[in-house]
Chains A and B, each alone.
Chain A
Amino acid sequence: MSVELISANHAAALAATLAGRANRTARGFCSGVYPITPTTECMEYLCGQEIEKGKVVRVDSEHSAMGVCIGASSAGARSFTATSSNGLAYMLENCVAAASYRLPIVMAVSNRTLGPPWNIWADHGDSLLLRDLGWLQFYCADNQEVFDTVLCAFKLAEDPRVLMPAVSCMDGFILSHTMAQVEIPEQKLVDHFLPTTKVPHRLNQSAHTLGQLEIPQQAVAHRTQHHQAMSAALPVYTEIQDSFEEIFGRRVADPVVAYHADDADTLIVSMGTIGATAERVVDQLREQGQRVGSIRVRMFRPMPENDLRKYFAGTKRIAVLDRNISLGFGGVLWGEIRGFADPGAIVQGYMVGVAGGDVRREHIINLLTDLQQCQTETVPKIVEVA
């Protein structure tokens, strides 16, 4: 185990490299990559790595990047790519295909605002495009978590009970370009942690066709299988946490990261790096005697509903901080989780840090002041933090 000072982009690429090498005794590693700010350094780093039985194809577009991943994965290899923002939007058609083929491709997304107007700063609107497509989704809050999540994502995506693509998200620049210490395990341990990739329906010698025409009854049966596999991912993830701890000697974060949530009467719910800031706010307010807690939704798909219900039980006031806007509705996370709170609880949506605004502690404290004054839930509020 070594400790390196690297950015989250490099951490994601390093995790993919180690995972790629771990598959050298099987069908190898093949990845299609294309640059886009702020993910570029992830794919650059990957292009600079020597991967035994591995190939990184520098393609012509994000659409082709995912195309190469689909081809590689359907041929039985381990596959990885990284993108952001409009790149992800351009890739989206093939993201649908990757999920529906049930291929265990892993992607790193450095979250960035969708343009135009052109804006390179963090917003979760890009990866949320994948919300309903059958991708496992994680949102990370620090560099170590990005590394660990990418590694775990391969194991989770390739588990025969799950078998679908996974995306690990990091806030653009806030994480992607921030250097921090990351513990990097040795290849031998990664080999031990990650079994070789097995895609049971891969193109082998038998005559079969992937992605054929289906009548509605067949298509709904496949959708149902996919949906059920999503639910299966939650218990499988717990197994992976155990195996990760056993091999690497530390525990990878839970699907829901709770901070002083058990006795809290007020909760701050968020995803990504805002969650880390929220935890510092909790520290500050706890010192002042307020019973505030933080909930960071790390696994967004499948949605860890039971965990959230458990933490929400007995909580009267919940502020949901969304770094995204579903135009005409409100924050996506708010919309999804407000039904999990107790009846009568105030679940107030705040869209904060949208399009890259820098969310600082004082902003969150102001939101909590606003929440305490709420008599009833109101429409979600857009909060400017710039």
Chain B
Amino acid sequence: MNEPALHGMAQTRKDRSAPVLRPGNTNCGGCGMSNLLQMLSRAAENNDIKIVIPACCAAITTGMFPESSISVPTILTTFAAGASVATGVASVAQLNNEETRVICLAGDGGTYDIGMGTLSAAAERNEDILYICYDNEIYGNTGGQRSSATPTGASTTTTLGGKSEVKKDIMGIMAAHHIPYAASISLAHADDTLRKLRFALNVKGFRFLHVLSPCPTGWKSEPAVSIELVRLAVRSGLFPVFEVFDGDHYTINIEPDFSSEALLMYLSLQRRFRKSGVTEEAIRPNIERYWHQLRAMSGRIMPAIRDIKTG
């Protein structure tokens, strides 16, 4: 594991001079999207970026007219139009030979659900867009309703007893589009995150990043443990961290320990799993099935002999 303790939030000379997410924004404490945008500031350096945000928490993050919490040119779009508006912005940049990176920043609702068709079409056309889905596994902006990204057993305001279906496999869907680059990102692994953000920013064509984004408000968890929750999701195998090049070359970046300890800690630190009483036994087969498939895709049949604790 490459995870230097201080590779986090501190502003350094290498960072973008004005952070993408400005201080004084209204994001909840422990919001994964805040961390993501901080990381993006570092990865983007002083390159020209433009952000397209469909309806989601990030649209609220920008704040009230005429001030904005985002320090780069940004357009807020209708819910399903993130990838299509980004297509227009990116096309005009291309026509004018501009070195602009157009980033579409969308939540799981705008990606997995209402924006799916638009996203799929933009990926199929291989538009020059970096699409980042920060996945908090609920409709956070509207107060926490079920989305197709909600995991099994999680209570939402529309699945009070816990969701019974399995979370949609967004990475599989995006990889099946054979786009140049798709990767999942763990905010608890800053080196890996930065490397992927930097790489994705500089690839041409459609790039997709899937970020597990803790939401203390919706997950009913302590803001202070958000990053720890991501780490537990990765360790337990619930959130596989891997990248896919051109839809066929799979690389697993972080090897989980698949421990019961990690999985149980993950479930018990969030009150959203309490009501359904979802157990390790119920979740484990899904994790195993997914990893079985992932290993087959990556050509790595046996787990790497590497322990998450020792790196």
Contact = CB atoms under 8 A, between A and B. Distances in A.
Given A71-B75, A203-B75, A211-B77, A63 B84 contact: yes
Given A71-B85, A72-B89, A72-B92, A64 B77 contact: no
A55 B91 contact: yes
B81 A94 contact: yes
Given A28-B92, A60-B118, A63-B80, A68 B65 contact: no
Report, as a range, how many residues of chain B touch the other chain: 35 or more
Interface stretch (A151-159, A212-220, A344-352): A212-220
Interface string B16-44: 00100000000000000000000000000
Given A57-B87, A71-B84, A75-B93, A213 B70 contact: no
Contacts of A218: 64-65
Interface string A33-45: 0000000000000
B105 interface: no
Interface in A178-203: 203
A71 B85 CA distance: 4
A204 B78 contact: no
A70 interface: yes
Interface in A66-103: 66-77, 79, 93-94, 96-97, 101
Contacts, number: 164
A66 B65 CA distance: 24
Contact of A68 (B60, B63, B91, B96): B91
A148 B155 CA distance: 58
A27 B88 CA distance: 12
A213 B60 contact: yes
Nearest to A60: B121
Interface residues of A, number: 47
Contacts of A207: 18, 68, 70-74
B261 interface: no
Chain A, interface SS category: mixed
Nearest to A56: B91
B78 A209 contact: no
A67 B81 contact: yes
A53 B94 CA distance: 9
A212 B68 contact: yes
Interface string B88-115: 1111111110000000000000000000
A93 B88 contact: no
A30 B89 CA distance: 9
A35 to B, nearest CB: 14
B93 A205 contact: no
Given A72-B91, A74-B88, A75-B88, A94 B118 contact: no
21 contacts: A28-B95, A30-B92, A53-B95, A59-B87, A63-B81, A63-B84, A68-B88, A70-B81, A71-B92, A75-B89, A77-B95, A97-B77, A204-B73, A205-B48, A207-B72, A207-B73, A211-B75, A212-B64, A213-B60, A214-B64, A218-B65
Given A64-B87, A75-B93, A209-B68, 11 more contacts: A30-B92, A61-B117, A67-B83, A71-B75, A75-B91, A93-B80, A203-B50, A205-B73, A206-B73, A210-B75, A215-B64
Interface of A: 27-28, 30, 32, 53-55, 57-61, 63-77, 79, 93-94, 96-97, 101, 203-215, 218
Interface of B: 18, 48, 50, 52, 59-60, 62-66, 68, 70-78, 80-81, 83-96, 117-118, 120-121, 125
Nearest 10 interchain pairs by C-beta: A71-B88, A67-B84, A60-B121, A75-B92, A72-B88, A64-B84, A67-B81, A71-B85, A203-B73, A209-B68
